[in-house]
Structure 1
């Protein structure tokens, strides 16, 4: 008997054996079959069980077929002994890898989604229980493989020819004919905007949703999505009309898209253990600090920033979340750089504000940083992500564009925010939008310098 549970790895990635102490006396024994705090500390995932099932095997030799199920499970014997066999049926280099474990009440096994599992009772009256993190549904199909496939070379204590096996399980295919279980996918919301298009380039297997077909502000729309297919949602959708957000209609639209929609998404994320990536903005700050780090409290000036700050606060309640805060986004569509290039080509000499300072963020770099966070296992939380290099004003950027387009830098005249906005209905803007990038750089991601991205963009 050990003082606490212990975890052992197996040849199959993510398949973990848990040794459970049995606390017994003359009356019998007691065990903690699932103790979240202790097991998370040992390295088990927080898989969020929602259903507990029990399987009773009347006679020794009863053998369950090797089925890979679309959920995670924790299996443990209540009575008797059994032989457990697992086969990795997920796509990738581990496909076909096997592991076996002798089971008794003091052993539990965590089985990740897509790993086929089978159990052979070695005593009459063997009972095992398993926790799963999805509710059973009659329409779910499993990947399965033959128990006696020579390619698996499983040494069953009771030969399969002599075991009690269902007709269905005797007809399961051999490994060479098994289609690997499809992994959970990534869903991109707002996939046809500037950032969404860049995300589709770096996540080519992700499902893409157009906001014309999926209204994030409609609570009922979420019921029409099979969320069990996904493990990650990247939210690239937002209401970004900063000036229009100050109007009555714009105010309602901004709050619906940037805040209320996130309430609906957070509810779904909690129910299905989704990782959510949400793109935020420097507008959640008032710009009085020259550089903004991730710990700075919200201080938005206008409706757009207020609605984005509210959405950030909602997303922060999701267990698995990344809030990616960015600034001055440039992508495939209408934007400041394209406008300046057009003006340069048309012979126009504009006046551009020189008292708002920040860094451009090009959507390919932003998309690359998001993928980095997801694939690197970076701790969940908020990360600033903009282009790298020295901060500049909008006037500086306009002059850079003009020079690259063959015009003189002096053809762009500097002006103040107040002078530019005179007679216009403009929302307030933060004067300082520079984001501290040290946190995301510490994860191994180095943003591309703005000038390099600008050269590539204009080319």
Structure 2
């Protein structure tokens, strides 16, 4: 139970269904209440669900009974006059399918009904006005689920027997629970299915919808048409322009800003309008590397174009009411990457020169994917979370030597050189010299990243 002065919310056996007791102020003229007050109601535990439509159903006589209807939107139900007996049945796919909750509602009581929970009521007084706010517009193309009011399984004890109540023929004909197809939850969309992180997310989000950059160009406004965005609960943006050096060229600069900034701004707008949680992957390149370790609240200080676009994208995503910015570094996954390159050089007997003054931690995409799922399941406060593998920070040269060692080659074959020496005579972007990210915040949510050395060993064994 949660409360503010005069306003109390109570959880029910149906997850997400919340009962509210509202203060009603009356005198000789009548009464007044704040029927929907966003700030106060969010403070007592209601989601900030963004209603777009208000409907009122006037019922002339006691015994009028409507439902049981589960719809693909959230609903805030209240009574303007009269009294109802409300009955709610969880018709969502999951362990609480078929769970029931009932309560009487009058002017001083309301209920928040989440997506997929069957809603029904019976009027207990004549001239009852039933009001509800919804966060999507009705559509003939939307998916609805219905349950018979008289279903014996859920066993609702209607105050006025249904044989004496006013029902529509349509409501009388709804199926019993055994024949109801559970309503699927709102969907997760992963953009960037072909990238290293996108491939890792497939393993931990098997029920998500995946689209490649070719199928969904985030920077093209036309990509956003044709989808009913209220059907989505989460968007994971695993698509980004990551060519650090090419971003410094004229064409690369345009491409980087188009994908990383324009595309992110379009995603942010869609997420904000439709109450979607946006998960955005950030980078250590938003910092200049001057500090020994970078926390989530450090001010941006990017050195190059790529870092500038990632910092701009982070600032945009931070304006989305429901967002997780997952900041990572030195990403290793399926496909071409530093570890695979070093393994290939070792196998061919090549002795490389590798940068020894850039310090950080590897981050394996399997761990990023698990961290994202953890945030979405645990639902900590929205904001930015650093997410890399744990353990001692190392240079690229030290990591290369470790790859050689694990694979049975002489680690002394790796020669360390400075960044300046390595890139001398080459067109390259400036890079942060220290990319270590603090992990205290993500650990406080209950997520423990693997040690980077252990993860490297596992990765090399798995890819031999």
The answer to whether the 8 A contact 1:149-1:175 is kept is yes
State the distance in 2 between where 1:401 and 1:66 align: 61
Distance change in 2, residues 1:141/1:403 (3 Å):
closer
C-alpha distance after superposition, 1:210-255 (max 9, x if no partner): 1101110011211222212210111111100001111100000000
User: Residue 162 of structure 1: CA displacement?
Assistant: 1.5
User: What does residue 181 of structure 2 align with?
Assistant: 179
2:190 matched residue in structure 1 = 188
Of residues 75, 81, 84 in structure 1, which corresponds to 2:77? 75
- In the other structure, the counterpart of 1:428 is 430
Aligned partner of 2:399 in structure 1 is 397
Instruction: Give 1:121-160 correspondences, 5 Å limit.
Output: 121-160=123-162
| Equivalent position to 1:297, from 292, 299, 308 | 299
Deviation at 1:344, TM superposition (A): 0.6
Corresponding residue of 2:420: 418
SS at 2:373's partner residue?
helix
Structure 2 length as normaliser, TM-score?
A: 0.97
Instruction: List per-residue Cα deviations over 1:302-346 (Å, max 9, x = no partner).
Output: 110011110010000011111111110000000011011101111
1:164-243 equivalences under 5 Å are: 164-243=166-245
1:70-98 residue CA offsets vs partner (Å, 9 max, x unmatched): 11111111111221111111111211111
Q: What SS does structure 1 have at the residue aligned with 2:401?
A: helix
Matches of 1:168 and 1:386, distance apart in 2: 55
Give the distance between the partners of 1:82 and 1:366, measured in 2 at CA: 48
Decide whether the 8 Å contact of 1:81 with 1:123 is kept in 2. yes
CA–CA distance in 1 between the matches of 2:11 and 2:356?
Answer: 59
Contact 1:65 1:165 (C-alpha < 8 Å) held by counterparts:
no
Partner in structure 2 of residue 371 of structure 1: 373
Whole-Å separation in 2 of the counterparts to 1:65 and 1:440: 43
Q: TM-score, structure 1 length as denominator?
A: 0.98
3-state DSSP of counterpart to 1:83: strand
- The CA deviation at 1:140 is 2.3
Partner Cα distance (1:234, 1:340) in 2: 30
Where structure 2 has 5 or more consecutive residues not aligned to the other structure, the ranges are none
- The question of whether the paired residues in 2 share the 8 Å contact of 1:52 and 1:129 is answered with yes
The Cα shift of 1:15 comes to 1.4
- 2:279 alignment partner, SS class: strand
Q: Is the 8 A contact 1:369 1:385 kept in 2?
A: yes
SS in 2 for 1:292: coil
Tell me how far 1:137 sits from its aligned partner: 1.6
- Write the mapping of 1:56-67 to structure 2, written as runs, cut at 5 A: 56-67=58-69
How far is 1:141 from its partner?
3.5
Q: Per-residue displacement from partner, 1:271-298 (whole Å, max 9, x unpaired)? A: 1101111101101111111211111111
Structure 1: state its 5+ residue gaps: none
1:120 Cα offset (Å)? 1.0
1:349 counterpart (348, 351, 355)? 351
Between stretches 438-447 and 3-12, larger displacement belongs to 3-12
Work out which of the residue numbers 360, 363, 366 in structure 2 matches 1:361: 363
1:49 aligns with 2:51: yes
SS in 2 for 1:291: coil
What is the CA distance between 1:38 and its match in structure 2? 1.6
Shift of 1:262: 0.9
- Point out the more displaced range, 132-141 or 292-301: 132-141
Deviation at 1:138, TM superposition (A): 2.4
Q: Partners in 2 of 1:388 and 1:380 — Cα distance?
A: 22
Equivalenced residue count is 458
SS of equivalent residue, structure 2 residue 9: strand
Q: Mean alpha-carbon deviation: is it higher for 374-383 or for 325-334?
A: 374-383
Q: Which deviates more from structure 2 when the two are superposed, residues 304-313 or residues 226-235?
A: 226-235
Distance 2:314 2:257 in 1: 12
Q: What is the DSSP-based 3-state SS (H/G/I as helix, E as strand, rest coil) of the residue aligned with 2:31?
A: strand
RMSD over aligned Cα atoms: 1.2
Deviations 1:370-416 (Å, cap 9, x if unpaired)?
11111112111111111111010010011111112221111111111
| Matched ranges for 1:282-321 at <5 A | 282-321=284-323
Deviation at 1:20, TM superposition (A): 1.5
- What displacement does 1:3 show? 6.1
Does 2:315 match 1:325? no
> What secondary structure sits across from 1:224 in the alignment?
coil
Q: Distance in 2 between matches of 1:109 and 1:387?
A: 43
* Runs of at least 4 residues off by over 3 Å: none
Structure 2 counterpart of 1:97: 99
Q: Aligned-pair distance for 1:113?
A: 1.0
The corresponding residue for 1:340 is: 342
Separation in 2, partners of 1:393, 1:99: 58
Decide whether the 8 Å contact of 1:67 with 1:144 is kept in 2.
yes
Q: Could you tell which deviates more after superposition, 12-21 or 208-217?
A: 12-21
